[in-house]
Every structure is written in C-alpha cells, then in structure tokens.
Structure 1
Amino acid sequence: MENTSKTATVTISANVQAPVAKVWQCWTKPQHITRWNNASDDWHTTRAENDLRMGGTFLSRMEAKDGSTGFDFNGTYTDVQEHARIAYTLEDGRKVEIRFEPNGTETHMTEVFEADQSHPVEMQQAGWQAILDNFKKYVEAAAKSRTLHYEINIQAPAEKVYRTMLDEEKYKTWTAVFHPTSHYKGSWEKGAKILFLGLDEQGVAGGMVSRIKENIPNQFISIEHLGLVQGDTEITSGPEVTEWAGALENYTFTEAQGETVLAIDVDTNEEYEAHFSETWPKALQKIKEMSEAGS
C-alpha cells in the first residue's frame, strides 16, 4: 500500500576551506567522525563504524556527555561516488544525500535529507546544520594540526594486550619512553577524569588533565585531553591550553586468530611530530614485549 503522507525534504550546505580529498577523508573515516559528529558541546560521538561501499553500513554512537541518554545513528549506503556523492537510507527508511563540489582548495558540500515526521522540521534543519558547521570547523582546523598513526602486531589476544597496557605498573614501563616518571592518576572508566603525569627535577607534577571519552574493553579506548596540570593546578582554559584542548588519543585493538593489531591515532602539532615519531614505536614495542611474555 502506498504511503500518502508527505515527507519534508531539507537542504543544508557549507563551504569548506579544504580540498575535496581532505574533506572526503574527514567525512568518511571513523577516526575523524568521532571528532566532529555532534550538534552541541554537550553531545559527542563515542565510536563510529563505516563500511563505505554500496550496500555497506555505517553506525555512529551519539551520546550526551553526562551519560543521560544516547542513540545509534545508522543506515545503509545506496550510492558511493568518491569525492562526489554519497547516498544512504537510514534505519527508519529516510533517505539522505551528500554532494561534494570541489573548487580548487575549497569544497562546497550540500546535504539533503528527509525529515523525521515526529519532530519539527525547523529543529531538525538546525541540528543537521550545526553538525555540518562543526564538520567545517574541524576540517579547517585540521589543516593546522596532525593525526599520527602507529600500529604493531602482537602475538597475544586482545584481552591480554588491553590488560597489559592499562595495568598501573606496566603503564609506567611502556610510557617511560616519553618521560622516566610517567604515570597516571584516575580511572579508565568511560566518562572518568584521568591525569597523565610526570615529575620534574624538583619533584613537581606536570602533565595533562583528560577524560576517557570511550572504553570498550579489549576493543577501543578514546582519551580526550582537556588541558594541563601544573603542580596542584589543573588548567583547562586560556591560551596555554588552546593547542591541546579537544585533542584525542585513540587505541584500537583488532584480534584475529589469537594475534592483535594495536593501532594508535594521536592528535598533535608540528612541534611534537618528530618526538612522537621516535617515541611511539618504542612505546608500542614495550607493550608488545610485555604482552607476549608469560602470564
């Protein structure tokens, strides 16, 4: 029987100051999606999955930061034309289309979606536009920062790698390559505050104040850095924390036949890129050695 109810179609757009290849990557890669996919600062996407092909599916887990509510935003792709067009059908049957129009170093994005009949169209338009505006802001800021990727194959199941990495004493061992007195204070539970610290020559603690954005045991951990620690003071606002606030440090554990690929994606800037390129491989090697050692 034909559905005669009228479904409103909404169009939103943004002009992103970045080439289409960069825009496409940030729109489609899960490690980027979790960084921009929210309409307001009190919401976030804790994890994302994306099988970008016709017939493939996607999922973004969207949650209020206070943990009060959340939902899965998911659907199935009906068309994928690289750097040009994406179309998909949401789980509830509504259709969405995103068009990418390159113009040199800029990209014009147009998003057309069928509105949910149970909510005001104006509210939905404002929410979807806010997400697209947040995407634009993220992509344009990403040109000034870098996300570094490192990974290692470990001859041990993901559960052991995960347990080894977070163990309080073993953590000190593998992070000593960054600072000889490196340690943490706090909890690894989702939503918890955690401090990553090291002592200076006078024994004064310094480091980062962060929170655990996501923790799926044996699968995925996302750390969001909020600011700096200087002695007994936590600094989460002001120019001195601008370059770190909101930076993510993600750990992905992928197990196959008793072996685990541990992948690290870490946000940084040009100043620290060379340092991390030297130290992260060493840190991963320490995790590998401890994980492969006898229980």
Structure 2
Amino acid sequence: MTTEQTTAADGFAYTLTRTLNAPAVAVWQAWTTPEQYTQWTGAAAGSVEMDVRAGGVWKATMVTPDGGQFPLTGSYLEVAEHRRLVTGMDVPGKPEPAAMTMELDEQDDQHTRIVLSQTCDTAEERDMAEQGSAMLLDSLSTFLTARA
C-alpha cells in the first residue's frame, strides 16, 4: 500500500492506494451492500442502511474492540457504479460532511486498484482518518481474499 500526505491550501489531505485481489464489481459490492459491509467493517449486525445513489443516505453503528458502539451517518455525494464513490460523513459541529473519495481501477479480471483520498481540516484529523482508512483497506482485503 502506498500513502501520500499533502497539505493543500484548503486543508490536510491523504491518499491511500492498494491493489486488491478481486474484480472491481466485487470490491464495489463489498463497499455498497449492507450485508457485506457489515462483515468487514465491524459494524453492528442490522445497523447498516445504504441508499447508494447521489443524494442517498447511509448509516451504520460501529463496534469498537472493547464493545463500545458509536453511530455514523452520512450521504452519497457522487456515485459512478464500479468506478467512483464519494461518501460524506456527518461530523457534529460542522456544517459540511467530511467527504472521502474511493476510486476503483480494474487492472484485469482479478485485480483492482483502489484509491481512497480525503481532505481534512487539521493534521490530527487527517492522521486519524488516514489510520481508519488504512484499517478499512486491511479488513476489505482480508474479506475479499476469504471470498475468492
């Protein structure tokens, strides 16, 4: 996995790139199907709802390793099936959602390059978001490998 951190004029950004051993359609389904998403993200069973279309909303309750739970909500800002998904996450106290972009580039029938990127307001927010995204990619890779 490669990581790129930048400080843009309007914030602090990161980009994570990884090649997954799965076709783009499988990666897309894992990310946009509530049943599959629950299996690899650590969301509470039955808590994931997704209306995957531009303007659609999503929600999930994540479970921490110590058993704590915290709800997340947001919307889909851009949807290009099997290629690009821009997801907004509601952040308390902020008027605009935190947007994360996922881009898929199918390399061949069994390999897809995934790129996650996000711009945050502070270096601390960026570092936390980047760490969380790296953990998501690790879990997604494990999930897809097990399904192959």
TM-score (structure 2 length as normaliser): 0.80
Please give the per-residue CA displacement for 1:245-291, whole angstroms capped at 9, x wherever unaligned. xxxxxxxxxxxxxxxxxxxxxxxxxxxxxxxxxxxxxxxxxxxxxxx
User: What is the one-letter code of the residue matched to 2:30?
Assistant: C
How many pairs align?
132
1:19 is matched with 23
**RMSD (Å), alpha carbons:** 1.9
Unaligned ranges ≥5, structure 1: 38-43, 144-295
SS in 2 for 1:111: strand
Gap change, CA 1:59 and 1:86, over 3 Å in 2 = same
What's the CA shift for 1:33? 0.7
Gap change, CA 1:70 and 1:31, over 3 Å in 2 = same
Instruction: Indicate which of 109, 112, 115 corresponds to 1:107.
Output: 112
What's the CA shift for 1:12? 1.1
Matches within 5 A, 1:213-292: none
What's the CA shift for 1:133? 1.5
Matches within 5 A, 1:62-73: 62-67=62-67, 69-73=68-72
Please give the per-residue CA displacement for 1:155-174, whole angstroms capped at 9, x wherever unaligned. xxxxxxxxxxxxxxxxxxxx
2:77 is matched with 78
2:86 is matched with 87
User: What is the one-letter code of the residue matched to 2:62?
Assistant: M
What's the CA shift for 1:64? 2.0
TM-score (structure 1 length as normaliser): 0.42
Q: Does 1:140 align with 2:140?
A: no
SS in 1 for 2:43: strand
What's the CA shift for 1:74? 2.0
Unaligned ranges ≥5, structure 2: 1-8, 92-96
What's the CA shift for 1:73? 2.2
SS in 2 for 1:45: coil
Q: Does 1:7 align with 2:6?
A: no
Distance in 2, matches of 1:91 and 1:6, equals 19
Query: Do 2:12 and 2:123's aligned partners in 1 also have CA atoms closer than 8 Å?
Result: no
